[in-house]
Structures are given as C-alpha cells and as structure tokens.
Amino acid sequence: MFGLGPLELCVIGAIAVMLYGKRLPEVGRSVGKGIGELRRQIATLSRDLDVSAHIDGTSPQSRRSSHRVDHGRHDEDVLAATQVASPRFDPPNQT
C-alpha cells in the first residue's frame, strides 16, 4: 500500500486520532464518499469521451468498422483533397 510499512501506518493513524478524535469515523465516511464520487465522475467523463470519439470517428473501433467509399475519384484526387495548403517559402537572395 503506497510503499508504507506497518510502523508508518501506525504513526499516520495516531496522528489522525490526535487531530480528529471522536470525529474520525465521520471524517472517514466523508473521505470515502468523496473518493466514490470522484470515481463516478471519472467513469462518466471517460464514457462521454469514448462516445464522442466514436461519433467523431476517431476511436479505434470506429476506424476498423468504417469503410472507405470511392466515388470514382483517382488516388491522386483524393490525396490532393486531403492535403492542407501551406504558403511557399522563398529564401532571401544571397548577394
């Protein structure tokens, strides 16, 4: 558990009892509820990202299942349509 030995855990427990005393069970419950809520939120976020990636077609599953439709274009036309135009760079004249 996080590389802590039994002695370190006892020291942490003793410090927790000194700080919280009778409220320790209440603090433990609230920390547990907070961790549970954090896990639920992370799962929800992960699920939402997976769904949006699937809708966008960027997920590995949707890439495998999608097929390319050829509408009579040649490969050069498809390649030219997907390339982004960039400005041409002319080096300065060396005189």
What value does the mean pLDDT take over residues 27-51? Answer: 91
Task: Band the pLDDT of 63: cuts 50, 70, 90.
Answer: very low
Is residue 10 over pLDDT 90? yes
Task: Report the pLDDT value the prediction gives residue 52, as an integer from 0 to 100.
Answer: 78
For the chain, the domains span 24-60
Is residue 11 over pLDDT 90? yes
Cα→Cα distances 83→2, 49, 79, 87, 88, Å: 49, 28, 6, 13, 14
Answer with the residue of higher pLDDT: 65 or 5.
5
Q: How far apart are CA 30 and CA 52, in angstroms?
A: 33
Q: Do 17 and 24 touch, CB atoms closer than 8 A?
A: yes
73: its two tokens:
């274009």
Put simply, whether the predicted model's pTM sits higher than 0.75 gets the answer no
